[in-house]
Amino acid sequence: MAKMLRQRFVLDTTALTDSLAWEGEGCTNICEGMNAILDCVAEARLHLGISCYIPYPSVYNEIREFVHHNGCDEAVLIKVDTWLVKMTPDRYEVKIPSKVFYEYVYYMRSRINKGMNVAEEAIWEAVGRCIAMSAAEGDISAFKDEIEREAVGGIVRKFREKYRSALRYGILDSAPDIDILLLAKELNAAVISQDLGIQRWAEQLGLRYLEARTFPVMIKEYLSRARAIHKSDGLPLYVPPSGEDDSL
């Protein structure tokens, strides 16, 4: 029987928290969902020799905070500690092509320019609304509260949404994002995430990428096929490759 290359995955926080991922498992809340996805990870580890990693301490701490914030019980954290391998990426030895840095700086500059345009539009809109209101009402100081509530408040809310869209989506904006890519590069592992920034730069680095919402489905398909082969041929579900360190 031909042996598969060992599968490794590096999980982002969204691999456990994405609503479409756990709703696909038939769960009704985030705690049930995390439990169900971690159960899939456990089965994959025990029956297929698949290892799932999370960067430590960055992503590990994010997951812990998410569990506590949502009032999940300790069983979730126990499963996290048991079935997810915590590992700090080697930030000094992992090599990243210089072209990726060049592309990132160029991309960030374009996004910053978009953010600046969004800010300028909001300023001009606010000025125009204030001028219109003062012309209609007379003394603008007498209508300060109304202007803040009806003009400036709405413009600020709209500005925040457009600014977030211009600057945050599709970029790496946190240390955990960087750690996920570095660890996946170090381990030659696939990245599991629903974050558009991680997806974009995983592609730039030539890393395998899988959306969080399809990860449990893929694991179940692996298990289903392995069990079918085991049932028909009597072969074990998983045979560790000889000479391989199977501790992780």
CA angle 31, 33, 39 (to 5 degrees): 105
Is there a domain that residue 3 lies in?
Answer: no
Residues 71 and 135 in one domain: no
Q: Which of 29, 69, 63 is nearest to 192 (CA)?
A: 63
**Which range marks the domain in which residue 26 is found?**
8-96+175-233
Assign 239 to helix, strand or coil. Answer: coil
Amino acid at 13: T
Determine the longest span between alpha carbons in the chain, in angstroms. Answer: 88
Q: Does residue 203 sit in the same domain as residue 145?
A: no
Residues 79 and 115 in one domain: no
Q: Is residue 115 one of the residues assigned to a domain?
A: yes
Tens of pLDDT, residue by residue over 125-162, are: 777 776 776 666 655 555 566 666 666 677 777 777 87
What are 80-134's pLDDT values in tens digits? 999 999 999 999 999 988 888 788 888 887 877 888 888 888 877 777 776 776 6
pLDDT of residue 193: 96
Please state the domain count of the chain.
2
Q: Of 151, 167, 183, which residue sits at a domain end?
A: 167
pLDDT of residue 144: 62
Which of 125-129, 185-189, 233-237 comes out lowest in average pLDDT? 233-237
Question: What pLDDT is attached to residue 2?
Answer: 45
Q: What's the distance, CA 135 to chain centroid? A: 49
Q: Is residue 20 part of a domain?
A: yes
Instruction: Give a yes or no: residue 246 inside a domain.
Output: no
> Taking the CB of residue 2, how many other CB atoms lie within 10 A of it?
3
Q: Is residue 21 part of a domain?
A: yes
CATH code at position 179: 3.40.50.1010
Choice between 63 and 240, residue whose per-residue pLDDT is larger: 63
Statement to judge: residues 189 and 163 lie in one domain: no
Cβ within 8 Å of residue 192, ≥6 positions away: 9, 10, 11, 12, 15, 52, 210, 211, 212, 215
15 in the same domain as 92 = yes
Domain identity same for 84 and 144: no
What is the pLDDT, as a whole number, of residue 1?
A: 41
139 located within any domain: yes
**How many CA atoms are closer than 13 Å to the CA of 66, on its beta-carbon side?**
20
Q: Which of 167, 201, 219 is the last residue of a domain?
A: 167
Asked if residue 243 belongs to a domain, the reply is no
pTM of the model: 0.77
